[in-house]
Each structure stands twice: as C-alpha cells, then as structure tokens.
Amino acid sequence: MVDYSVWDHIEVSDDEDETHPNIDTPSLFRWRHQARVERMEQFQKEREDLEKTLAESKRKMTELQKKIKGLEISGTDDAKSELQKLQEEQKQAKKEEKNLERKLEEHRQQEKKMPWNVDTLSKDGFSKSVFNLKSETKEETEEEREQKHKTFVEKYEKQIKHFGMLRRWDDSQKNLSDNPYLVCEETANYLVIWCIDLEVEEKHSLMEQVAHQTIVMQFILELAKSLKVDPRACFRQFFTKIKTADQQYQDAFNDELEAFKERVRGRAKARIEKALKEYEEEERQKRLGPGGLDPVDVYEALPEEMKKCFDSKDIQMLQEVISKMDPTEAKFHMQRCIDSGLWVPDKKLVEGMDKAEDEEPVYEEPKKD
C-alpha cells in the first residue's frame, strides 16, 4: 500500500489566493518565498553545525582513548595522575557526545514533520549515481608482486633514491607531499634492498642514512594499517607525531632503526659469504680435469714424496718414488693426477706401472746344504 499521508501537509504559499489590495501580488509571493527559503537555510545550517560538532566530539573521544591506552601501559606515578585526569575528561566527552546525538536525532525528526513546499517538491533527489559495488580483493601471486615492484621501480627509482638521501623531518614530509605515490610498500621494499647493497659495497655511513628513511616509511605504513586508511592519507600524522613525540615514542623509533641496521649487516654478511662460495665453486669447476677431479684436492691427498716431485717438477724423481711404492697405490694416485689434469699421461710410465701390478712375485726354493 502507498502511504499518501505525506501529502496532507504541503505548504504552497506561492500559489495562495490570499492577497492584499494595497500590495503588489507578485511581490508578496516573492517575499513569502524568500522568508521560507531563509528558514530552510537556517534549519539546514543548524543540522550541519550539529553534525560538525558531533564529528569533532568523536574525534576528541578517539584521541582520549589513544592517550589513555598509552598511559595504562606506562605505569609511572606521573602517568597514573595524568590517567585519572584523562578518564574524567573521557566521561565528560561521552556525556557531550550522547547529548549531541540526541539533539541531532530530534532535529531529524523535526525535519520529517516539516510540511513540503514548492522547493522541496521540485528538488532534484538524484544529482549523482552511486554504484554500491562489493570490493573483491584478489590476492596477488608472487609473480604479480614482483612485476608490480619492477614496474614501480623502473618508473620512480630516481624519486625513491632522492627520498632515501633526505635527513630532516620537514624535508621528508614535503617530499612525500609533492610525491604522495611514493608512500607505499614498493618504496619500502626498494629502500631495504638498497640498504643491503650499500652495506655489501662497504658504504656504511650511506647505508645508515638510507636505513633511517626506510624506518620512516615503514612506520608510516604501520600507522596506516592501525588506522585502516590509505598510507597517503596519514603520513602527515606520522611527521606531526614524531616531531612532537615524547621520549618513549622517539626511543621506540630509534630502537627499531638500530635493530634494522643490525639485520641489514647480517643480510649483507650472508650475501657476501654466499657470493664467495659461488665464486669458489665456479673456480673449482674451471679447475676440474678431464676426469672431473679438482687438482688442488688431488695434490693435497698425495704422499709427501710425490708432492716433492710435483713441486720440483722432477720426472726422474717421480719415477723413482713410484718404483718404490706399492704398485696398486702408485697407480691409484697417478690415475687421480691424470683425471685432475695435474699430470699429462706418460705412456711408458703408465705401462710400467701396469706391468709391475700384473707381475706376480717369484720365490726360489732354498738350497740344501
């Protein structure tokens, strides 16, 4: 069923037949219309003022709750005294907020009871179209995140490095105000990698400078997460807070900075060690002989007498040493030398070792007296 009761009270003063013989009728209508419009504007202003005051009251309540939470953690005598004071303010703020909500609701009810008129009847109720689409956050794959980071860095690397070189709070804030697109995870990730690169290159002072800016960006991102807002909307709050912060907040920032620099040094050390191992493995692969053995390992495993032969490059001495050794052991070491490239095969020497290994010892029976 359609409710037609809303049409029972309609104010249409512009179309009334009531006039005065000594007053111009069109002028009378204009005056009445102007008076009604002014009443409507005043009524609307009262509502806007109430909404603005209520919003300010809610903001004040949020600030008080944050301060109280921080003081509850502190536990000092001064903090307890301040905590009691803030709790009293919180009670008053709650009362004020409830009072404002009540007044705003009364104002809305009064607005519903107001009669319609020619202005409200002809008012455009749909000045814009709003689509209430459900946001679907698709989780990015590792490949998509890497490509996003690569594209961002290719476009803004120069600006990121400029931010990383800044020192003063005001300079950093102005830079982000001029380039708000830098306030994101991609910038923080680039700064972290840059810090490790600088430490590997032994540019320690520059690393510490960039590390400071890295923690600035990470603190902004964490603040955005806690407030559940876009980082670009709250970076100014961070700078306001850090510039006027108490010692406890400043200490928290410095502690995180020092911990981050230690992590960077650890990562840089691990990267250097890994690079050295890879280099050593590459060099070892280059040294491998035709049989796949490393000449350094083979040399270290040789008997001392054979080492002296290779050190002096005396082939005659090597032949004499081999002739005195057990044939099987001599062939084992020489084959390893050949497989590692430490020794280029000498056909006669190898054949001599094979013959010595194949020959069985001949024993003569003792003579009888």
- Which has the minimum average pLDDT: 46-50, 149-153, 166-170? 46-50
When comparing pLDDT for 32 and 231, which is higher?
231
Reading the block at residue 174, the tokens are: 């102005």
pLDDT given for residue 133 in this prediction: 38
3-class DSSP string for 285-333: HHHCCCCCCCHHHHHHHCCHHHHHHHHHCCHHHHHHHHHHCCHHHHHHH
pLDDT given for residue 28 in this prediction: 55
pLDDT given for residue 29 in this prediction: 58
Question: Which residue's structure tokens are 């029972």?
Answer: 8
Q: For residue range 105-119, what is the model confidence (pLDDT) as tens digits?
A: 887 887 766 665 555
Per-residue pLDDT, averaged over 221-245, amounts to: 87
pLDDT given for residue 117 in this prediction: 55
CB 318 within 8 A of CB 309: yes
Per-residue buried b or exposed e for 270-295, using 16+ beta carbons within 10 Å of the residue's own CB: eeeeeeeeeeeeeeeeeeebeeebbb
pLDDT band at 196 (very low <50, low <70, confident <90, very high): very high
Rounded Cα–Cα distance for residues 334 and 227 (Å): 74
pLDDT band at 190 (very low <50, low <70, confident <90, very high): very high
pLDDT given for residue 261 in this prediction: 93
pLDDT band at 343 (very low <50, low <70, confident <90, very high): confident
At 40, is the secondary structure helix, strand, or coil?
Answer: helix
Q: Is the dihedral of CA 307, 299, 330, 337 positive or negative?
A: negative
Per-residue pLDDT, averaged over 301-316, amounts to: 86
